[in-house]
Amino acid sequence: ELPFLTTFVRQTTLSRDALTKPPGIRWFGYPPATILIPLSAMTNPEPAQEVAPVTHTSPAEEIASSSVDANQNHAEVPQAEDEEEEFFDAHEQDPVEIERLLSEANEHKNAGNQYFATGRYQEAISEYEEALGICPEVKAEERAVYWGNIGACYMKMVEYVHTNPSHDGHAPQEDYKQAEEACTESLTLSPQYAKSLLRRAQAREKLGTYSAMSDALEDYRALRDLKDTNDYTRHECEKAERRLPPLLKERMEKEKEEMLGKLKDLGNTLLGKFGLSTDNFQMKQDPGSGSYSMNFVNNPKK
């Protein structure tokens, strides 16, 4: 239906060319047909109504416009305040359950102690690990003891290997490393646990590297300053403070020589392609500062 159609309509059959096109009417190329024409349009045509111009927008503009509308609508909806949801393990919050789990964990600890006393260190480690798996996280002091006991097992395993030739293939350095890591876990839970601090210091000293021995010296100093350290342990710490500094200096020089040796091998491999070797480059140490200088020599002595 046309918007200006009135109740006064007459029906006629006309060709398109015979009609005077009323204002606001467009033809679409239809053949002569029976059409309905408002009487008022033929006798007293009304002025054409203005049509709002059609604006063509690109897809990107339409998307941007939609996004703005969506954001406006979204802004009108009140947002719920962010609330953190805390989830708790019912067992870890129930004091009765905590004590039950702790009792069960201590049963494994006691079994581990029995294995430890008879030299069955690997079985003892398994029992202490079982205790750690059962003991609630809130019992940090007890968990520190379990970790410390694991560290003690690894330290004892080294002694066992030395007295049992059948275990010659065992690598003691691995045990010292495991002992250090276990004691570090223990000290994370209980930083002033003297037994773990002493065992870690001993393990680091046995590792023998400059870095590990430096850390061992720091552990001995920290242990010496603990209020609860007994006189014997404090005396051992003081002995370590006198023993380690010269060993550290010696170890540093040894590691420096090892590093220079590796660099020399690498240099010979690269320089050999040019008919040179590291012998063409002589290092000279300054006695005062300890630093090195390098000189190039055309014909090094063989």
How many angstroms separate the CA atoms of 190 and 178, rounded?
Answer: 18
Comparing 267 with 240, the larger pLDDT belongs to: 240
Residues 123 and 23 in one domain: no
Report the mean per-residue pLDDT for the chain. Answer: 76
Tell whether the model's pLDDT for residue 135 goes beyond 70.
Answer: yes
Q: What's the pTM?
A: 0.59
Residues 131 and 25 in one domain: no
How many angstroms separate the CA atoms of 11 and 184, rounded?
Answer: 103
Q: How many domains does the chain have?
A: 2
Residues 99 and 232 in one domain: yes
Span 156-185, pLDDT tens digits = 998 876 666 555 556 778 999 999 999 999
Looking at residues 120-131, what average pLDDT do you find?
97
Domain presence at residue 74: no
Domain presence at residue 61: no
- Please give the residue range of the domain that contains residue 138: 91-285
Residues 20 and 137 in one domain: no
> Which of 26-30, 196-200, 251-255 shows the lowest per-residue confidence on average (mean pLDDT)?
26-30
Residues 110 and 252 in one domain: yes
Residues 15 and 143 in one domain: no
Residues 14 and 114 in one domain: no
What is the pLDDT at residue 88? 46
Domain presence at residue 71: no
Domain presence at residue 1: no
Residues 111 and 195 in one domain: yes
Residues 141 and 242 in one domain: yes
Tell whether the model's pLDDT for residue 276 goes beyond 90.
Answer: no
- Domain containing 226 — which CATH number? 1.25.40.10
What is the pLDDT at residue 253? 87
